[in-house]
Amino acid sequence: MGEVIYRMGELFCGPGGIAYGALHTDVPGQKIVHAWANDFDYDTCQTYIHNICPESPNSVINGDVRCLDFDKLSPIDALSFGFPCNDYSIVGKKKGLEGEYGPLFEYGAKALEKFQPRWFLAENVNGLKADTKAFSIIMNRFKDCGYDLYPNIYFFEDYGIPQKRHRIIIVGIRNDQHKVFHIPSTAGYKKKTCKEAIEHPPISKDAPNNEFTKNSDVVINRLLHIGPGKNAFNSDIPTEFQLNVKGARLSQIYRRLDPSEPSYTVTGSGGGGTHIYHWSEPRALTNRERARLQTFPDDYVFYGSKEGVRRQIGMAVPCEGAKIIFEAILKTFSGIDYEWTAPNITEEQWRLK
């Protein structure tokens, strides 16, 4: 038999972390190729085109998914979509299905109904599971499209990703395929620290997206009084450099990395104090250093303003994490055994009563 090729479409594609992982899988006789992608942000689409499909720029449609004409898209065998997480994030207002972004999962469901891909991968923040009603509605909607579902909260640091990033990944397999997906085991993966990820090998001075952020003297002096792994609220900072903040004291504010641990979660938004700070130098990380924590290769070029690039990197799925899950999917379809573990989300937890 020849090689089995899965043409993959992607909604809410972001800068291409999922796609890069998919296109770089290494499973004998199985291959994923790009078919088309969609994202709302122009610069994000330019990043995706440059790194994922430079030979077919028109296959990436920049625009609101609510205006996307599915009838003009080519057939696909696989679908991936990291539907917007803003309304499910534990640090947001948690509007869930009542928010502006919460209902957008429905466009993933519509694509499943339209194209009936053999399998799909959907991603969201682990805060989605806390909204039990929304989670049940979403899962049952996907199930009703004709898919067996395998949700799991992936703790990416357990898979050797240099970042404590926890995300719900839902793998769906069309129920006429008669395949059972298993969660890939974390056995055999070595913990990778943020220091190791950023320094080995050293980042070239002319690497793209490696510009330093200009920090004020106040910020620099504040950071000089914050130790590795500490933040602005649990450090002994002189009065003149302390934050004049009332109410919530978020642990991520001016938090420096612990060089002996994976990074805390790379985020795509937030004001001063949320940029992720170097463990020994009094500065924020560069976008290239953040990209390393998301396992993007150094030749992966991001388009847009510095803040726009920061947002793209923070919203992405770690390339290597996506690759691990895609390889498990391909092994499932090819009948190749692999080490697996029990899921941490059961059907009883999401099925509507």
Catalytic positions: 85
CA distances in angstroms from 59 to 13, 54, 133, listed in the order given: 12, 10, 36
Contact 277, 259 (CB under 8 A): no
Distance CA 344, CA 45 (A): 34
> Among residues 263, 285, 279, 297, which one has the least CA distance to residue 192?
263
Q: How far apart are CA 66 and CA 242, in angstroms?
A: 45
Six token digits for residue 279: 């463990």
- R_g over Cα of the chain: 21
What is the phi/psi pair of residue 158, to 5°? -75, -10
Give CA 84 to chain center in angstroms: 11
Burial of 228 (0-12, 13-18, 19+ CB in 10 A): middle
The two tokens of residue 240 are 């003149």
Structure tokens at 27: 């499973």
Q: CA-CA distance, 321 to 160, in Å (whole number)?
A: 8
Q: Do 104 and 65 contact (CB within 8 A), yes or no?
A: yes
Q: Specify whether the CB–CB gap between 203 and 292 falls below 8 A.
A: yes
